[in-house]
Structure 1
Amino acid sequence: MSVWKSKTLRLEFRTCFRQKTMNEPRFLGEAMRPAYLRETFLVSGDTFHFSSPPPPDVAELRHLASDEPWRVLSCVLANLQQGRFDVSRRLVGLMHETNDAVIWNACAHLLSFAAPYSVIRELEAVSEKLLESDRHSPYTRQYFCVILSHSAGVWGVPHLIRHYRGLKNREVENDVEYNLSQVLETEPGPILSGPQVLWESNGLPPPFEESTPVFLVDDYLSLIGETFQRLVSSERLYEQEALVEGERLNIRNVARRLLSRVQTGTHPDRIEMGRMLLEATTGLNCRAFFDDSGRLKNLTAAAIVEEFLERGDADRYQPGVRYFFGHRIPD
């Protein structure tokens, strides 16, 4: 893989933590994060679990009107864990109210894995308004790509492709190619590799000759579109179904692939995605997948997934349907 196509091996909603994602203030929210959310919403942390017991009134709906983002997020999470999905609309409002990258990261996690598609459609409808704001940089578009890819709706793939077309930075395009691959490819393949590159000479003789890369984006977009249409046809997918790793979402298959990957240590980005999807769907606490420094504990992770599969818990979940903590997400 060329230096133009090198990719990092961490899926940490990378735009959300990249300092150039948003204009100031960027990370004021981190300083205000309460102890019971210390590792919550972090991929190698507690993701969708509270790090320690929250206040007993955390789920009271009056907190949704708070001007303290972490109080709002705690209330939303507590209610979502109980299957009360209407609270997810408050996340869209929170993204209008703040440009703090850490808060947007938390909102992105919850919208991706717990919000009904009706809410994500509402966010997508106002995405361009949010993106045109002077408060945000062009890198902000990747948030919408992350939400669309991890929420996995068949309806959302054309919107994801549209956002990809709107990216203006090769580094961000690399990251979104991860997102596209995770939706459309069972294993990393040509979609992950991104557009092919041609080197165009300026026509001067050495030592004055210089070459510039030309990315064959149109060919790449054709590949994405054709792959998506083939999957819709072969899987007979409806637009409200979820599409993950090249097939109708099936949590048993997600767990089986996750088990194989933690046993071999292959595709760390897919391990993190699989962990998040398994945990979000079932409510299973997978914190023990990683040590305190974020390194994967292969044997421990494998044991957790093996136990899930052996119990037959996957039978509870209908293919193509999204769940959060065992509760079926509406629409």
Structure 2
Amino acid sequence: MRPSYLRHSFLESGYGLHFATPPPADVADLRHLGDQEPWRVLACALANLQQGMFEVSGRLLGLMHEARDADVWNACATLLSYAAPYSVIRKLEASAEKLLAPVEHSPYTRRYFCEILASSAGVWGVPHLISHYRELKDRKVEAEVEYYISQVLEGDPGPISRGPRVLWESNGLPPPFEESTPIFLTEEYLTQLEGTFQELVSSQKLHEQEAIVEGERLNIRAVAQRLLTRVRTGLHPDRIEAGRMLLEATTGMDCRAFFDGSGRLQNLTAAAIVEEFLEREDADRYQSGVRYFFGHRIPD
């Protein structure tokens, strides 16, 4: 059962990567990583990751093998996305098919791997993300993953976020018996994804261990500036949530006030938080293309 000090933690429109209330004094004690209660493991992992103890992220892989609870997987996905070294995420990707092996797994299960690959933003991971998309069989899940891919490859939601073109195929019967079936041009879309990715890698001379966000090498100042524009205008709410998480993860800033208790964006408050960050010039300490968690450089 999720404890009160993790209420709304790991949620983009909640408390993000912070505890809801002060956790127990021994929350970071490594013995909790072996606990049978998944939320104690997650709390311990979060507390250690906030201090730059990135080796604990490997325990999250084991937790995903042990638990088949959606809330636990959501929390694991969030921590892996923003705090795990790429070496750990590569291990997760290598075990993906084993985790997907049960015949009864939900079509949403593969979405977790897409979320982690997209939010961790590794150039190396984009081909894997595209490969997962190719294996999806549920249109609703495909639409969600199209958003993830757009988050990596497009500055603003555009053709990639809209998904493949659709043709309508008639059954050939005369009205009123005629019906049309949508045909999604998936192969054309996959070619578009691969071409866009290769063009970005070539034009920006990206290396596989670098991070790519919204069509460019990760730059936390640019992330904050785009986020500020969006919270002022209310445009692209999904990108606001993703931007908040990336800014919070990188710096450790407390962005819990971005949203009220019902998950509604507090535009003026959010704008003030981002403005203060930009005015302090804190962005200058973060190297472009490199991931950080709570100010600690994530090793790879």
> What is the TM-score with the length of structure 2 in the denominator?
0.99
Counterpart-to-counterpart distance in 2, 1:277 and 1:208: 51
- How far the C-alpha of 1:135 sits from its partner, in A, is 5.4
Q: Show the counterpart of 1:149.
A: 118
Counterpart-to-counterpart distance in 1, 2:20 and 2:261: 13
Counterpart check, 1:188 vs 2:157: yes
Q: 1:236 aligns with which of 205, 215, 219?
A: 205
- The question of whether the paired residues in 2 share the 8 Å contact of 1:131 and 1:138 is answered with no
The 3-state SS of whatever aligns with 2:200 is helix
Counterpart-to-counterpart distance in 1, 2:229 and 2:178: 48
- How far the C-alpha of 1:77 sits from its partner, in A, is 0.4
Q: Give CA deviations for 1:83-138 in whole Å, capped at 9, x if unaligned.
A: 00000000000000010000000000000000000000000000000001245222
- How far the C-alpha of 1:271 sits from its partner, in A, is 0.2
Counterpart-to-counterpart distance in 2, 1:151 and 1:204: 49
Matches within 5 A, 1:34-49: 34-49=3-18
In angstroms, what is the RMSD of aligned CA positions? 0.7
Q: Show the counterpart of 1:18.
A: none
Matches within 5 A, 1:241-320: 241-320=210-289
Matches within 5 A, 1:205-220: 205-220=174-189
Counterpart-to-counterpart distance in 1, 2:103 and 2:191: 33
Counterpart-to-counterpart distance in 2, 1:298 and 1:173: 30
The 3-state SS of whatever aligns with 2:58 is helix
Q: Give CA deviations for 1:195-251 in whole Å, capped at 9, x if unaligned.
A: 000001111211221110000111111110000000000110000000000000000
> What is the TM-score with the length of structure 1 in the denominator?
0.90
Counterpart check, 1:88 vs 2:57: yes
Counterpart-to-counterpart distance in 1, 2:283 and 2:73: 31
Name whichever of 255-264 and 131-140 sits farther off.
131-140
Counterpart-to-counterpart distance in 2, 1:210 and 1:134: 33
- The question of whether the paired residues in 1 share the 8 Å contact of 2:107 and 2:141 is answered with no
The 3-state SS of whatever aligns with 2:183 is strand
- How far the C-alpha of 1:293 sits from its partner, in A, is 1.0
Q: Show the counterpart of 2:31.
A: 62
Counterpart check, 1:329 vs 2:270: no
Where do 5+ consecutive residues of structure 2 fail to align? Answer: none
- How far the C-alpha of 1:39 sits from its partner, in A, is 1.5
Counterpart check, 1:174 vs 2:143: yes
Counterpart-to-counterpart distance in 1, 2:227 and 2:108: 30
The 3-state SS of whatever aligns with 2:197 is helix
The 3-state SS of whatever aligns with 2:269 is helix
Q: Show the counterpart of 1:27.
A: none
Where do 5+ consecutive residues of structure 1 fail to align? Answer: 1-31
Q: Show the counterpart of 1:158.
A: 127
Identity of matched residues, %: 75
- The question of whether the paired residues in 2 share the 8 Å contact of 1:89 and 1:119 is answered with yes
Counterpart-to-counterpart distance in 2, 1:136 and 1:216: 26
Q: Show the counterpart of 1:200.
A: 169
- The question of whether the paired residues in 2 share the 8 Å contact of 1:99 and 1:135 is answered with no
Q: Give CA deviations for 1:170-189 in whole Å, capped at 9, x if unaligned.
A: 00000000000000000111
How many aligned residue pairs are there?
A: 300
Matched AA of 1:272: E
Counterpart-to-counterpart distance in 2, 1:264 and 1:76: 36
Counterpart-to-counterpart distance in 2, 1:130 and 1:38: 27
Counterpart-to-counterpart distance in 2, 1:39 and 1:208: 50
- How far the C-alpha of 1:292 sits from its partner, in A, is 1.1
Matched AA of 1:325: F
- Structure 1 runs of 4+ aligned residues shifted over 3 Å read none
- The question of whether the paired residues in 1 share the 8 Å contact of 2:150 and 2:214 is answered with yes
Matched AA of 1:86: E
Q: Give CA deviations for 1:117-164 in whole Å, capped at 9, x if unaligned.
A: 000000000000000124522220000000000000000000000000
Q: Show the counterpart of 2:69.
A: 100
Q: Show the counterpart of 2:97.
A: 128
The 3-state SS of whatever aligns with 1:144 is helix
Counterpart-to-counterpart distance in 1, 2:103 and 2:31: 31
The 3-state SS of whatever aligns with 2:191 is helix
Q: 1:113 aligns with which of 60, 78, 82?
A: 82
- The question of whether the paired residues in 2 share the 8 Å contact of 1:36 and 1:51 is answered with yes
Counterpart-to-counterpart distance in 2, 1:99 and 1:292: 28
